[in-house]
Amino acid sequence: MRIALASDHAGFALKRELAAWLSELGYEVADLGTTDTESVDYPEFGARLANTIATGSAERGVAICGSGIGISIAVNRNPKCRCARVDEPVSAALAREHNDANVLALGGRLVGSDMAKACVAAFLGTDFAGGRHQRRVDQLSSLLQDSD
């Protein structure tokens, strides 16, 4: 499975740690930047990750900014992305099980690296439950057209 990672400056350190860890676990990792701690704008990196998921260049994404909030909003502007901002693994698993989330958002200034890894592990290790949840996930894809 190919996993794309993107962050702003506030998420850079956690992104680097997660990228190395995921590579060690045998995942193919695409690091979309940013590349250092110089200040950048999270919407650019959220959009970059969203496009990577939407075009099928990666199956899953991890998005990181200071709180995880801004970049989660950016990713969810793309109708093909379902991004869950989480800070513990129960939510990360529910995001997969109920929402078929394809992107996880984390707060690099709020969540420690071990907790972040537990979130990512739950996100990657949990299957979508389907059933009534599929109908709702389909509705999420059509909402964007309705709002135009």
Catalytic residue list contains 65: yes
Question: What is the Cα gyration radius of the chain?
Answer: 14
Closest CA to 109 of 11, 40, 5: 11
91-94 long-range contacts, CB within 8 A, separation 24+: 91/119, 92/118, 92/119, 92/120, 92/122, 92/123, 92/126, 93/122, 93/123, 93/125, 93/126
Q: Is the bond preceding 55 in cis, omega lying within 30 degrees of 0?
A: no
Given the residues 65, 81, 83, 119, the one annotated as active site: 65
Give Dmax (Cα) for the chain.
45
The nearer residue to its own copies, 21 or 73, going by C-beta atoms, is: 73
Catalytic residue list contains 98: yes
Using CB under 8 A as the binding rule, the residues of this chain from 30 to 89 that contact its own copies are 39, 41-44, 46-47, 50-51, 54, 66-67, 69-70, 72-74, 76-79, 82-88
**45/73 Cα distance (integer angstroms):** 12
- For residue 38, the minimal CB distance to its own copies (Å) is 13
Find the binder of its own copies among 7, 107, 122, 123 (CB under 8 A). 107
- For residue 5, the minimal CB distance to its own copies (Å) is 19
Residues that bind its own copies (CB under 8 A): 39, 41-44, 46-47, 50-51, 54, 66-67, 69-70, 72-74, 76-79, 82-88, 90-91, 94-95, 98-99, 101, 107, 110, 132, 135-136, 139-140, 143-144, 146-148
Report the catalytic residues. Answer: 65, 98
